[in-house]
Amino acid sequence: MALRVPKSTLPQLFRDGYKIQQGVDEAVLRNIEATHELSEVVRTSMGPNGRNKMIINHLEKLFVTNDAATIIRELEVVHPAAKLLVMASQQQESELGDNTNFVIVFAGALLQKAEHLLRLGLHPSEIVQGYELARDRALEILPELSVGTVGDLFSKDNLKKAIRSAISAKQIGYEDLLGDLVVEAASNIMPKNPKDFNVDNIRVVKVMGSSLHESRVVRGMVFGREPEGVVQNVTQAKVAIFTCPLDAAQTETKGTVLIHNAQEMLNFSKDEEKHMEKIFQELADAGVNVVVTGAGIGELALHYLNRFNIMAVKVLSKFDLRRLCRVVGGTALARMGAPMAEEMGYCDVVETVEIGSDRVTVFRQEQSETSRTTTIVIRGATQNHMDDIERAIDDGVNVIKAVTRDDRLLAGAGAVEMELNKRLQTVAAKTPGLNQHSIKKFAEALEIVPRTLCDNAGMDATATLSRLYAAHYQESGSGANVGVDVENNNDGTLDAVKADIYDIVAAKFWALKLAADTAITILRVDQVSHQAIKKDELIIMSKPAGGPKAPKQQGHWDQD
């Protein structure tokens, strides 16, 4: 009989309080259960009819959104396997800005299908091998399913076609309105070589009040407050940017001055005034006619700014201040005084514009192409609503960035997933050995996208999916672009290309790859412990977060 070390000895290697889970039953299935819980949270928020989630984060800030990237960022996920899904989704967000929900939902579906295979008796390594084959084959097939390209990136109609479905997935009903805003903003800053398109050059400013239909695109960088002084408009502005307050310097120590008469009082303040006048005289002599500060402006400083006809703008966000430095080509100074020629910025127009009942300051570059910026001003009744509109706009801008890299389009509305499912089922049928089961389950997992669209729209998912299968398995091949009609017209199916519902090849490619890789990584884990036991096995570390232990409850001194 083979000798075997009993499991009970393993915890004795570690300090008290550590948990060890190993084997298929404990580690793998528990990890799959945790990832399923996370994917179910965001699955109901997928697609145009996705429901909102109300989240109150650790800072007591309220979020009401159906944006998966925001939901998982604000949820504090502790489970190590679920954290892997969160990291994959965040990578998709930072790389392409869209399809973050797809990564979590699809990875969750892959793991659910793997659980079924595990219960049938397959070993995790056999499932992993099959999933790897399926992933590689799916990534080869995906570009073949392209239904066309965006074409001319300087055409507003072409850009709108690419971003329409990304926006309608967040804000259905407003896709045309928001699409026009995003396309106009992108066209304003589109460089001669579209590959140099920079998402940072499109800013969003939220001005409370009115309705979304009053939103507009303003060329330039917009700050939600008017200038401090009397000067409201400057053309061909030389800009000095300060991070320090424009005020008389305060001494570190306090002192008491005894003043006997009015003359002494006047003399006391005269030196300070002369010093301030000298500073602003130097600024005026250097040709500066706009001063931007990230801190306060004193009354005396404001007096001299008005006297020398210099416009004064307060920008309280240090990020906006840095961005403004990039736009005008200036350097933020930490000391008061005239900037050198290379530290000074230049802006074609600095003006005050009225939006609704609010006055805002606009910095506009008309000549320079590299620092040209444009701002989408969102109007709305509540802060939460405007935040959600901003997320939809952000998705649209990121899709334009993705299109400048790869302008191929896929049929949306779940059509590409169904066609990929069909192709992979064919591959599975031709694959010998146990791998065919994993490839088949990988194909079935793709069904989660159209099924979720049906569920969230309140449709009969089983009936709609059977109609989709029938359309995609037609001999003529004409049903390759048939997807889910969330408005439930025409038996719940539609031709996605005719309905102008598209996905981007680059976004879908990376989402598929990240989701499959994450699922494979989680399946490879066979032990969850606080540290690595064997070097050749992939182990996820799981340890309760540290922190001060609760103080001992002390009784009264004479309680004994």
> Which DSSP string do the residues of 60-84 spell out, in sequence order?
--EEEE--HHHHHHHS----HHHHH
Nearest to 171 by CA among 179, 181, 180, 161: 179
Characterise 337 by phi-psi region: left (phi > 0), alpha (psi -120 to 50), beta (else): left
Buried b (16+ CB within 10 A) or exposed e, 308-323: bebbbbbbeeeebbeb
- The residue type of 83 is K
Write down the pLDDT at residue 479. Answer: 67
> Model confidence over 96-143: pLDDT tens digits?
877 888 899 999 999 888 888 888 888 888 888 888 888 888 888 888
- Whether residue 191 lies inside any domain: the answer is no
End-to-end CA distance of the chain: 59
> Model confidence over 195-216: pLDDT tens digits?
878 888 888 888 887 788 888 8
- Whether residue 319 lies inside any domain: the answer is yes
- Whether residue 468 lies inside any domain: the answer is yes
Burial of 428 (0-12, 13-18, 19+ CB in 10 A): buried
**How high is the mean pLDDT of the chain?**
79
Write down the pLDDT at residue 172. Answer: 81
Domain boundary among 341, 372, 403: 372
Least confident range from 292-306, 390-404, 437-451: namely 292-306
Query: Does residue 137 sit in the same domain as residue 268?
Result: no
Number of domains making up the chain? 2
Six token digits for residue 391: 């997320």
- Whether residue 523 lies inside any domain: the answer is yes
Query: Does residue 357 sit in the same domain as residue 484?
Result: no
Of residues 421 and 171, the one with the higher pLDDT is 421
> Which DSSP string do the residues of 84-103 spell out, in sequence order?
HHHHHHHHHHHHTSS-HHHH
**Long-range contacts (CB closer than 8 Å, 24 or more residues apart) made by 458-463:** 458/49, 458/488, 459/484, 459/486, 459/488, 459/492, 460/492, 463/492
Segment (H or E) for 333: strand 332-333
Q: What is the mean pLDDT of residues 221-234?
A: 81
Rounded to whole angstroms, how far apart are CA atoms 116 and 31?
A: 14
Query: Does residue 354 sit in the same domain as residue 425?
Result: no
- Whether residue 210 lies inside any domain: the answer is no
Q: What are phi and psi of 130, to 5 degrees?
A: -65, -40
- Residue 158 pLDDT > 60: yes
Domain boundary among 372, 395, 425: 372
> Model confidence over 411-468: pLDDT tens digits?
888 888 888 888 888 888 888 888 888 888 888 888 888 888 888 888 888 888 888 8
CATH number at residue 273: 3.50.7.10
Write down the pLDDT at residue 475. Answer: 57
Write down the pLDDT at residue 2. Answer: 52
- Residue 538 pLDDT > 60: no
When pLDDT is cut at 50, 70 and 90, the band that residue 552 belongs to is: low
Nearest to 171 by CA among 47, 322, 33: 47
CATH number at residue 478: 1.10.560.10
Rounded to whole angstroms, how far apart are CA atoms 427 and 444?
A: 13
Residues forming a β-bridge with 311 = 290
- Whether residue 493 lies inside any domain: the answer is yes
- Whether residue 383 lies inside any domain: the answer is no
When pLDDT is cut at 50, 70 and 90, the band that residue 13 belongs to is: low
Segment (H or E) for 208: strand 202-208
Residues whose CB is less than 8 angstroms from the CB of residue 426 and which lie 6 or more positions away in sequence, other chains included: none
SS3 of residue 184 by DSSP = helix
Query: Does residue 109 sit in the same domain as residue 236?
Result: no
Write down the pLDDT at residue 555. Answer: 58
Burial of 165 (0-12, 13-18, 19+ CB in 10 A): buried
Domain boundary among 350, 372, 394: 372
Residues forming a β-bridge with 21 = 528
Query: Does residue 467 sit in the same domain as residue 333?
Result: no
Characterise 203 by phi-psi region: left (phi > 0), alpha (psi -120 to 50), beta (else): beta
- The answer to whether 282 and 337 have CB atoms below 8 angstroms apart is yes
Query: Does residue 249 sit in the same domain as residue 341?
Result: yes
Domain span at residue 338 reads 221-372
- Whether residue 202 lies inside any domain: the answer is no
Query: Does residue 325 sit in the same domain as residue 447?
Result: no
